[in-house]
Amino acid sequence: MLDGPMAPDPRLDALRALADTGLRLARGTTSARLALAGLRDVVDPATLPPEIRERALAELEAAHAQATVALPAKEVERALKDAWGEKPTSVLDELDTEPVACTPAAQVHRGVHEGEPVAIKVLRPGIADSVRQDLNLLETLIRPLGNVFPSLAPGLLLREVRERVLDELDLEHEASTQRAFARALRRHPDLHVPAPVSALSHERVLVSAWVDGTPVGELTDAGERHEAARALVRFHVGSARFGTVHADPHPHDALRMADGRHAFVDFGAVRQVPATRVDEALVALAAFLAADPDALGASLHRLGWLPAQVGATALVLGRDVLQGHLDGPSRLDADAVVAVGERAIAHAEALWPLAEVASVPPEDLWPLRMLGALFTLLARLEVEEDWAVLVGGAARDGW
């Protein structure tokens, strides 16, 4: 007897309806346009499905071009005067009127302060207020997720997103974080963070020491890309052991300096991480690599991610999705990213029951954001490495 057509899954219907509503609302928001523009430098075209690649790239390019139009020089000077209470020419020895970088949220100028070259980051006017309004809209979208994924706590997740995103748009907050990183790494032989100029820091302006270097996304030498990959893992994963995770790995924000060190800039996306959670994550990683379902389930339960009884299922599915990248060196590139995605899709039916009982503790959102962005950035460097050992070592030992 042949089975009849499968009945529609109401959970999938709810997700589709929620996604459609979200897309319609998001198209008109500042936050959505900023996120779309930011993806242009992060997404590797080779990882996109061929049938949508050309259209998606065109949309990303258009969004990026629209969101990164340079601010007029007079507007930049006005922002600096408002921040410092006097004309920029009275504070700086020099100020280049042409920006050296324009992002959806800010732009950067080169200047000279007390005889030393500096980078001057200026937040785009009105952006913080616009994003704050968009976050209120997000509340209407995220709460229905609780009906599809009962273990989620949408209100707590939204509160976490709100706090972290608004912190990213406060350059005085960023300066204080950058100062802590700079002090911690001031004598490090391989990693460097430029120190901010505290006296010139403001909610809309951040001034820090200038750094010359080649963005890791533009490196062509295989050996230099390999060194950059190791530095990226050591810095970003190691930042969790430092106690404040840098959650936004970006191909233009990590620079290989002439002396071989790697400098890191842009400290808006950060989150404090308790050492106890890093330690427990290492326990889960060890259990996963050792293929120990009981130990993995117990650790995932302590982390608050999954019930202990689904540890065996999580182990089997996780090891299959990540096959080839767990036991010894493997090459991480666009093909590897596509293969991981295809295996995850192939297991969608089996993964759904896990999603129904999974939870994401709010304090883990930004660390998970870091790991996802780091995975895609490392793939662009096309390097072979023992990733499990490298990540585990960085989490255990830090910098």
- Tens-digit pLDDT profile for residues 71-124: 999 999 999 999 999 999 999 999 999 999 998 899 999 999 999 999 999 999
- Per-residue model confidence (pLDDT) at position 288: 97
The verdict on residue 5 lying in a domain is no
Residues 6+ apart with CB under 8 A from 344: 321, 351
**Residue 218 shares a structural domain with residue 354:** yes
- Per-residue model confidence (pLDDT) at position 6: 45
Residues 6+ apart with CB under 8 A from 385: 226, 229, 230, 329, 330, 332
**By residue range, what is the domain housing residue 190?**
68-125+170-210
pLDDT range class, residue 296, cuts 50, 70, 90: very high
Pairwise CA distance, residues 397 & 390, whole Å: 10
320-371, pLDDT tens digit by residue? Answer: 999 999 999 999 999 999 999 999 999 988 988 898 899 999 999 999 999 9
Between 42 and 385, the more confident residue is: 385
Pairwise CA distance, residues 284 & 292, whole Å: 10
pTM value?
A: 0.89
The verdict on residue 46 lying in a domain is no
Q: Name the one residue in this structure whose structure tokens are 């096309």.
A: 382
**Residue 302 shares a structural domain with residue 261:** yes
**Residue 119 shares a structural domain with residue 192:** yes
The mean pLDDT value of the chain amounts to 89
The verdict on residue 394 lying in a domain is yes
**Residue 228 shares a structural domain with residue 372:** yes
Q: Is the pLDDT of residue 299 over 80?
A: yes
**Residue 330 shares a structural domain with residue 223:** yes
Residue 214: phi and psi, rounded to 5, are -100, 125
Residue ranges with strand state E in 103-237: 106-113, 116-123, 191-192, 205-209, 214-215
DSSP-based three-state secondary structure for 312: helix
**Residue 61 shares a structural domain with residue 73:** no
**Residue 316 shares a structural domain with residue 332:** yes
Mean pLDDT of 36-58: 83
**Residue 290 shares a structural domain with residue 335:** yes
CB count within 10 Å of CB 82 equals: 13
The verdict on residue 350 lying in a domain is yes
Between 21 and 230, the more confident residue is: 230
- Per-residue model confidence (pLDDT) at position 11: 57
**Residue 203 shares a structural domain with residue 299:** no
**Residue 199 shares a structural domain with residue 229:** no
The verdict on residue 48 lying in a domain is no
The verdict on residue 3 lying in a domain is no
- Per-residue model confidence (pLDDT) at position 4: 44
DSSP-based three-state secondary structure for 259: coil
- Per-residue model confidence (pLDDT) at position 17: 57
- Per-residue model confidence (pLDDT) at position 5: 45
Q: Are 112 and 92 in contact (CB under 8 A)?
A: yes
143-181, pLDDT tens digit by residue? Answer: 666 666 777 777 788 889 889 988 999 999 999 999 999
Element (H or E) spanning 190, and its range?
none
The verdict on residue 267 lying in a domain is yes
**Residue 96 shares a structural domain with residue 119:** yes
pLDDT range class, residue 21, cuts 50, 70, 90: low
pLDDT over 90 for what percent of the chain? 69
Residues 6+ apart with CB under 8 A from 366: 160, 164, 245, 247, 269, 270, 271
Q: Is the pLDDT of residue 291 over 60?
A: yes
- The total domain count for the chain is 3
**Residue 112 shares a structural domain with residue 155:** no
245-274, pLDDT tens digit by residue? Answer: 999 999 999 999 999 999 999 999 999 999
> Within the chain, what is the greatest distance between any pair of CA atoms?
86
- Per-residue model confidence (pLDDT) at position 373: 94
The two tokens of residue 376 are 């895609």
74 exposure class (CB count in 10 Å sphere: 0-12, 13-18, 19+): exposed
The verdict on residue 45 lying in a domain is no
